[in-house]
Amino acid sequence: METGQPQNPKQAPGATGAESQPTDWAGIQHGFTTTNEPLREIGKRFGVTHAAIGKRARKEGWTRPEKQKPVSIKMAALDPRHQRFVQEYLVDLNGTQAAIRAGYSANTANEQASRLLANVKIQEAVEEAQRKLQDKLEINAERVIQKLATIAMADPRELVQNKVSCCRFCYGAGHKYQRSDHEMDADREDWERQGKDPQHFNEKGGAGFSLALPPVETCPHCAGDGVSRVVLKDTRDLSPAARLLYCGAKQTKFGVEIQMHNQLDVLDKLCRHLGIYATDNYQKSDPLSLRTMTDAERAVRIERMLADNPAMLGALNSVLGPGGEA
């Protein structure tokens, strides 16, 4: 019997009665764009499939909110504004700028930064975050010190060299001006091209000049000093130490300048970290510190003191005599 209705009616998902309710796409969009609730859960609430939600989101360009990063225990103990300050401080370790970016007044940012950084809880949160970053990047004090030591002991000559070669007169016949083989051929061809007699061509000191040859001590022109030239090394093939020492190159009006880390500054950092300055200053300010040293340490210290003071060494020798005993 025909009733005027399709034999297999397709009801909209979630419809329970003869009449289906319109899908609340506005509510679905709100849940999609403001929460991280799984699509299946959103679909269950609104009576649609998660695939239909995904298709609609792609078509209309919906985006989901960023997932909140887990907050550490130390950070969780801070209020939101202090958390923001810690996050901003970790960007560049500039307390004043971090305070401004965290919403504090620029007029009092310096004082606020000092107050905040004196807060024990904030200090602990910063230290915790730095430890996590160090672990993530596999950076520790030992590795940093090793890198600094490598830079401090690197040989700058791997980057830039001052080479001394023979002058034009060192190996010339009779110490006359010497051409290279190419220069000799070019000058001879130019001479003949001008229609001049080849027999009258002046070979001067002959051919064979090469910068690879060392200076001649008896050369009357350079007196064995030769000619120096600066040679920049190819930075594509450097040792690990030289790669750390190298920090770039720039073109100047005088040519290319190779830039390197200041090795004295690096040594200074090493000495400060290792406490060399503190130990040396203590020994200088406390003459009795020799009493607390072992025999070996005392011998090294005395030897160093005498090496730095020749006058004292001479006076001591005069007192002790040739045998070394008074």
- CA–centroid distance for 54 within its chain: 44
**Tokens 């890198």 found at:** 147
- Measure the CA–CA gap between 48 and 65, rounded to whole angstroms: 21
40: pLDDT strictly greater than 70: yes
The pTM (predicted TM-score) of the whole model is: 0.46
Per mean pLDDT, which range of 6-15, 130-139, 151-160, 217-226 is the poorest?
6-15
Burial class (CB in 10 A: 0-12, 13-18, 19+), 266: buried
> What is the number of alpha carbons within 13 Å of residue 52 lying toward its C-beta?
14
Q: What is the pLDDT of residues 295-306, one digit of tens each?
A: 666 667 667 766
Q: Tens digits of per-residue pLDDT, 70-99?
A: 667 788 888 888 989 998 998 888 999 999
Q: How far apart are CA 147 and CA 61, in angstroms?
A: 48
Looking at 81-85, 106-110, 185-189, 285-289, which range is the least confident one?
285-289
Secondary structure string (H, E, C) spanning 141-173: HHHHHHHHHHHHHCCHHHCEEEEEECCCCCCCH
Q: What angle do CA 163, 165, 169 make, to 5 degrees?
A: 155
Helix (H, G, I), strand (E, B) or coil at 232: strand
Task: Tell me the C-alpha distance between 59 and 51, whole Å.
Answer: 12
Residue 76 has which token pair?
Answer: 């969780």
pLDDT tens-digit map of 247-260: 999 999 988 999 99
pLDDT tens for residues 187-232? 999 999 999 999 999 999 999 999 999 999 999 999 999 999 999 9
Radius of gyration of the chain (CA): 40
For residue 72, give the nearest of 112, 131, 25 by alpha carbon.
131
Note whether 170 and 222 are within 8 A (CB): yes
Residues 6+ apart with CB under 8 A from 74: 121, 124, 125, 128, 129
Distance, in Å, from the CA atom of 240 to the CA atom of 50, rounded to the nearest integer, reads 54
